[in-house]
């Protein structure tokens, strides 16, 4: 029997041929997408260039993989890379030959693209601060790794109705977004007992849903039983005929919540009776000190770790687009400072952890020309038009326009929130889970068909408080920078943070109404 490496190598060869069939117009865009998605590749708008998604396990970026990615940028003349909202790295504007060469070289170095798209289990998301976050229960990194390994060993065998997203968080702050995913685990410690709270059948996009609390403690060493049970339930009850209603969140809508949980338990019992999936991993309770001696103040881009005197610096390029030379400089810093570790977040950031005060100062100097240091400059945008096949609007252009307009008007930005922008209702920019979110569309205003964005507010991701954003109106794209500027001026005049300001809905609505169409 062929091993997985040989299977994946042969798949790349076959995919190369399909890529040329697509370029020669022998197969349609839709048919190619069915083939390419599972390989972690998508054709860009126009059908001549391609995007490849490097599946960095739970956003972990070991130095050898960073250097490998840097070699891709160098050898394939790639101008920049894109940091995604699911802790992966995308490379754009590639030929089909380049795509397949990169896939092979990545595979040879233990970096996968398989399952990066299509109807497969996706990258297991993970709190980027897991292991260093103050007041966390325990470090869940190795448990996320174990799930990733389990899924990747079987990635070529899955036949799911749609994608399946699994997440892990080390605390109730829910940095892995476990309360809005198909399957989520949040670490807990109670009277010395470690366990996970589990959440099921949530997700963003059309008809979004907050995940259902499972309500029973999950032993850390038994998580693979729950993963397998969820996969089996999804295959048994998911809709293979209607793609629009194929995600796990539609199953409890059809079955009813209680019946859904009963069905899950039946699948769980069956897995436990037929397989040995117990992990040889131990959850070690994280310790948080009562007092700390950090000398550098926390900011939106600098966090104190629970390890006294150590910091995490958040690197956030505009739109998650990191240029090659800037990436190379970061890799060189990490090579020269091997105590530091890099991880991707859910917000198009790179978290560089375990830094001393001197290292913070050195790295801050390296990234100062592009790093977002205020919340508004840490805003998130999907790729959108003109790159994405499905995109409706120019999400990245909108964010650039907002930031440029704020700079031109020279206002204080520190009270403005981060914004999440999606170019369509697929919610790749996670607009439904943010303080202030926009999703692109078209609308006839008067006699003109306008580029517009729906405005969402009050999205929160935090265990026990997770709330989906509420749509409050639609704004023409060109007017959005003016709206954000007016909001920023109002916040500064009132000396209020955004979260405090928006508690008075009438006051917020008064600002918005001027710009609604």
Domain harbouring 397, CATH code: 3.30.413.10
> Going residue by residue through the chain (517 aa), what tens digit of pLDDT does each one get?
468 999 999 999 999 999 999 999 999 999 999 999 999 999 999 999 999 999 999 999 999 999 999 999 999 999 999 999 999 999 999 999 999 999 999 999 999 999 999 999 999 999 999 999 999 999 999 999 999 999 999 999 999 999 999 999 999 999 999 999 999 999 999 999 999 999 999 999 999 999 999 999 999 999 999 999 999 999 999 999 999 999 999 999 999 999 999 999 999 999 999 999 999 999 999 999 999 999 999 999 999 999 999 999 999 999 999 999 999 999 999 999 999 999 999 999 999 999 999 999 999 999 999 999 999 999 999 999 999 988 899 999 999 999 999 999 999 999 999 999 999 999 999 999 999 999 999 999 999 999 999 999 999 999 999 999 999 999 999 999 999 999 999 999 999 999 999 999 999 999 999 999 9
Distance CA 221, CA 218 (A): 9
∠ CA(236), CA(242), CA(247), 5° rounding? Answer: 60
Q: Does one domain contain both 360 and 381? A: no
- What phi and psi, each to the nearest 5 degrees, are found at residue 146? -65, -40
**150 in any annotated domain:** yes
Tokens of 192: 């010395």
- Cis peptide before 386, with omega less than 30 degrees from 0? yes
User: Distances in Å between the alpha carbon of 425 and those of 120, 428, 509?
Assistant: 21, 8, 23
**129 in any annotated domain:** no
Q: The domain spanning residue 108 has which CATH number? A: 3.90.480.20
**331 in any annotated domain:** yes
Q: Does one domain contain both 358 and 237? A: no
Looking at 327, 344, 372, which one is the last position of a domain?
A: 372
Q: Does one domain contain both 453 and 419? A: yes
Q: Which domain holds residue 277?
A: 135-287
Q: Which residue is it, tokens 């190795």?
A: 142
Q: Does one domain contain both 194 and 73? A: no
Give me the pLDDT at residue 442, please.
97
∠ CA(68), CA(100), CA(47), 5° rounding? Answer: 120
Give yes or no for a contact between 331 and 74, defined as CB atoms under 8 angstroms apart: no
Q: Where are the alpha helices (DSSP H) in 238-323?
A: 250-255, 257-274
Q: Does one domain contain both 420 and 321? A: no
First-to-final CA distance of the chain: 62
Which residue from 12, 119, 110, 38 is spatially nearest to 68, judged by alpha carbons? 110
Task: Give how many domains the chain has, as a whole number.
Answer: 4
Q: How many residues in total does the chain contain?
A: 517
**What's 113-149 look like in SS3?**
CCCCCCCCECCCEECCCCCCCCCCCECCHHHHHHHHH
Distance CA 447, CA 443 (A): 10
Give me the pLDDT at residue 1, please.
40
Sign of the CA dihedral running 92, 93, 98, 100 = positive
**123 in any annotated domain:** no
Q: Max Cα separation, the chain? A: 70
Secondary element (H or E) of residue 419: strand 419-422
Q: The domain spanning residue 316 has which CATH number? A: 3.30.1370
Would you call 91 helix, strand, or coil by DSSP? strand
Tokens of 249: 């969140």
Distance CA 90, CA 51 (A): 7
Q: Does one domain contain both 1 and 111? A: yes
Q: Does one domain contain both 367 and 391? A: no
Q: Does one domain contain both 281 and 139? A: yes
**What are the DSSP E strand ranges found in 136-278?**
166-169, 183-190, 193-200, 212-213
**172 in any annotated domain:** yes
Looking at 314, 339, 372, which one is the last position of a domain?
A: 372
Would you call 322 helix, strand, or coil by DSSP? strand
**232 in any annotated domain:** yes
Looking at 116, 146, 175, which one is the last position of a domain?
A: 116
Sequence-separated (6 or more) residues with CB below 8 Å from residue 433: 177, 180, 204, 420, 459, 460, 461, 468, 469
- DSSP-assigned letter for residue 203: B
Give yes or no for a contact between 438 and 413, defined as CB atoms under 8 angstroms apart: no
Q: Does one domain contain both 98 and 157? A: no
Q: Does one domain contain both 389 and 316? A: no
Give me the pLDDT at residue 339, please.
98
∠ CA(388), CA(394), CA(398), 5° rounding? Answer: 145
Which residue from 47, 4, 9, 7 is spatially nearest to 25, judged by alpha carbons? 47
From the CB of residue 448, how many other CB atoms can be counted at a distance below 10 Å?
8
- What phi and psi, each to the nearest 5 degrees, are found at residue 244? -70, -20
Q: Where are the alpha helices (DSSP H) in 44-114?
A: 63-75, 96-108
Q: Does one domain contain both 32 and 107? A: yes
pTM: 0.97
**391 in any annotated domain:** yes
Q: Does one domain contain both 283 and 139? A: yes
Distance CA 186, CA 177 (A): 9
From the CB of residue 483, how many other CB atoms can be counted at a distance below 10 Å?
19
Give the orientation angle of helix 4-23 with respect to helix 96-108, to 10 degrees. 170
**122 in any annotated domain:** no
From the CB of residue 265, how many other CB atoms can be counted at a distance below 10 Å?
14
User: Distances in Å between the alpha carbon of 317 and those of 255, 338, 345, 450?
Assistant: 43, 23, 13, 29
Is the backbone of residue 55 left (phi > 0), alpha (psi -120 to 50) or beta?
beta
């Amino acid at each position: 029997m062929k091993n997985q490496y040989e299977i994946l190598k042969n798949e790349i060869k076959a995919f190369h041929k399909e890529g040329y069939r697509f370029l020669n117009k022998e197969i349609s865009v839709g048919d190619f997408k069915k083939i390419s998605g599972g390989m972690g590749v998508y054709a860009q708008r126009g059908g001549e260039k391609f995007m490849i998604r490097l599946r960095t396990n739970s956003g972990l970026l070991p130095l050898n993989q960073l250097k490998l990615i840097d070699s891709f940028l160098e050898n394939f003349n790639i101008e920049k890379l894109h940091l995604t909202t699911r802790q992966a790295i995308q490379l754009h504007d590639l030929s089909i030959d380049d795509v397949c060469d990169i896939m092979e070289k990545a595979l040879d170095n233990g970096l996968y693209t398989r399952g990066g798209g299509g109807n497969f289990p996706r990258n297991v998301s993970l709190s980027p601060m897991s292991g260093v976050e103050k007041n966390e229960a325990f470090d869940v990194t190795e448990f996320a790794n174990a799930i990733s390994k389990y899924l990747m060993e079987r990635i070529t065998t899955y036949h799911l109705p749609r994608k399946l997203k699994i997440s892990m968080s080390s605390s109730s702050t829910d940095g892995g977004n476990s309360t809005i995913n198909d399957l989520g685990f949040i670490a807990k410690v109670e009277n010395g007992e470690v366990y996970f709270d589990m959440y099921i059948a949530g997700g963003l996009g059309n008809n979004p849903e907050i995940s259902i609390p499972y309500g029973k403690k999950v032993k850390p060493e038994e998580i693979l039983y729950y993963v397998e049970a969820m996969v089996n339930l999804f295959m048994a009850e998911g809709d293979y005929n209607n793609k629009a209603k194929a995600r796990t969140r539609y199953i409890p809508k059809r079955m009813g919540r209680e019946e859904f949980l009963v069905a899950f338990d039946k699948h769980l019992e069956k897995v436990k009776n037929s397989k040995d999936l117990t992990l040889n991993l131990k959850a070690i309770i994280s310790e948080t000190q009562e007092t700390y001696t950090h000398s550098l103040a926390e900011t939106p881009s600098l966090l104190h770790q629970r390890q006294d005197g150590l910091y995490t610096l958040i690197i956030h390029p505009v739109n998650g687009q990191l240029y090659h030379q800037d990436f190379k400089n970061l890799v060189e810093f990490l090579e020269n400072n091997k105590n530091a570790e890099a991880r991707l977040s859910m917000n198009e950031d790179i978290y560089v952890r375990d830094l001393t005060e001197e290292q913070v100062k050195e790295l801050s100097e390296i990234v100062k020309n592009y790093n977002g240091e205020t919340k508004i400059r840490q805003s998130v945008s999907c790729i959108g038009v003109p790159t994405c096949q499905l995109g409706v609007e120019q999400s990245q252009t909108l964010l650039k326009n907002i930031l440029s307009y704020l700079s031109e008007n020279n206002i204080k930005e520190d009270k403005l929130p981060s914004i999440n922008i999606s170019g369509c209702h697929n919610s790749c920019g996670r607009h439904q889970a943010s303080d202030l979110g926009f999703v692109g569309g078209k609308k006839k205003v008067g006699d003109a068909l306008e580029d517009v964005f729906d405005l969402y507010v009050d999205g929160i991701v935090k265990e026990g408080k997770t709330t989906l954003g509420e749509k409050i109106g639609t704004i023409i794209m060109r007017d959005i920078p003016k709206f954000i500027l007016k909001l920023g001026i109002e916040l500064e005049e009132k000396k209020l943070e955004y979260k405090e300001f928006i508690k008075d809905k009438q006051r917020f609505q008064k600002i918005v109404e001027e710009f609604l169409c």
